[in-house]
Amino acid sequence: MGDRSFPRLTDENHFRTSDADVGYNCIAWAAHDTDHWWQPGFFWPKEAPWEQHGIGELVDAFKTLGFVECSDGSLEPGFEKVAFYGTTLEYTHAARQLPDGKWTSKLGKAEDITHATPEDVVDGVYVPVMQFMKRQIS
């Protein structure tokens, strides 16, 4: 890839895992939901004003799914992690850690990918990771 939207993605650090699908976004993908486009005011797991799009809204939404805040995205056996990208005012992306420690992302309305680290998708469309969360795998 390595284009302006995702300058850090290379043939060596990622691969495509699905075709484009406009039915769900990165937030839904991180939550294992391919049936909805997650966005306050459209579909959200808790009551939230439609104009609220900050990292705090993501944290609150994922708490309803059993996630708790954590300090980093390192692989932690028995836990699934998510990474949230953005600012206090606006989130730009969410990614989910896979059991092998790699990460998976839905690139907007485009395809899903597997990438080596959370940082592989920053510096273009997405700003750096602002928050990690985890939940125990049952």
Q: What is the pLDDT of residues 17-47, one digit of tens each?
A: 999 999 999 999 999 999 999 998 889 988 7
DSSP 120: G
Q: Which residue type does 68 have?
A: V
> If you search the block for the tokens 């700003």, which residue do you land on?
127
CA separation for the pair 114, 132 (Å, rounded): 18
CA separation for the pair 63, 60 (Å, rounded): 5
User: What stretches of 62-102 adopt beta strand conformation (E)?
Assistant: 68-70, 79-86, 91-97
At residue 89, the pLDDT reads: 85
pTM: 0.93
Residues of the chain with pLDDT under 50: 1
DSSP 59: H
At residue 3, the pLDDT reads: 63
